[in-house]
């Protein structure tokens, strides 16, 4: 995982419509960058819906929310439409950005070991510097915890 105080790695990835989006597009705004394993799975859906429900609060704080997974742009489009997700979803099928942020790790499930995306979240300041790292973000509390950090409560 990357550490607080380091400059967030630059990237450009396609959004749900296939349009290239760069981290630098959001300079001057805070950025919540959350990595998640897969669209339309129970935990990932709860996490995305929690960010969607709090989207107005993030907007009031000049903060953009970006979700990144290895799913395709087409998968992201269906996911966003199904749950009315108002924020940016980016596709990283080669997991280059996922890897650069330390979210591509060894995972164990039912005794089987494989590589995959771990659920983690970064809060970046207006200059792209990492201000908070949540290496084991919980789907149900992640959005609220980031809002608390933005409010100076955590």
| Domains of the chain: total | 1
pLDDT digits (tens, 9 = 90+) for 66-84: 999 999 999 999 999 999 9
- Alpha-carbon gap, residue 145 to 151, rounded angstroms: 10
Contacts of 77 (CB under 8 A, 6+ apart): 16, 17
Q: Which parts of the chain sit beneath pLDDT 50?
A: none
Q: What is the pLDDT of residue 153?
A: 82
| CATH number, residue 73 | 3.40.30.10
Q: What pTM value is reported for the model?
A: 0.96
**So what's the pLDDT on residue 70?**
97
Query: Which residue of the set 44, 66, 118, 150 is catalytic?
Result: 44
In a domain, 20, yes or no: no
List the domain range (segments joined by +) for residue 47.
26-150
Annotation marks residue 120 as catalytic: no
Q: Is 1 a member of any domain?
A: no
* Residue 148 φ then ψ, to 5°: -60, -40
């Amino acid at each position: 995982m990357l550490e607080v105080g380091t400059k967030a790695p630059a990237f450009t990835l396609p959004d749900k419509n296939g349009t290239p989006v760069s981290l630098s597009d959001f300079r001057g705004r805070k950025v919540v960058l959350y990595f998640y394993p897969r669209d339309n799975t129970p935990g990932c859906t709860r996490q995305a819906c929690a960010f969607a429900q709090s989207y107005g609060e993030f907007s009031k704080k000049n903060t953009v929310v970006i979700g990144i997974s290895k799913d395709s742009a087409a998968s992201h489009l269906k996911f966003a439409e199904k749950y009315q997700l108002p924020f940016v979803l980016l596709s990283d099928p080669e997991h280059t950005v996922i890897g650069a942020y330390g979210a591509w790790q060894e995972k164990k499930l039912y005794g089987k070991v494989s590589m995959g995306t771990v659920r983690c979240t970064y809060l970046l300041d207006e200059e792209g510097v990492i201000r908070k790292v949540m290496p084991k973000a919980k789907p149900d509390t992640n959005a609220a915890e980031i809002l608390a950090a933005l409010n100076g409560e955590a």
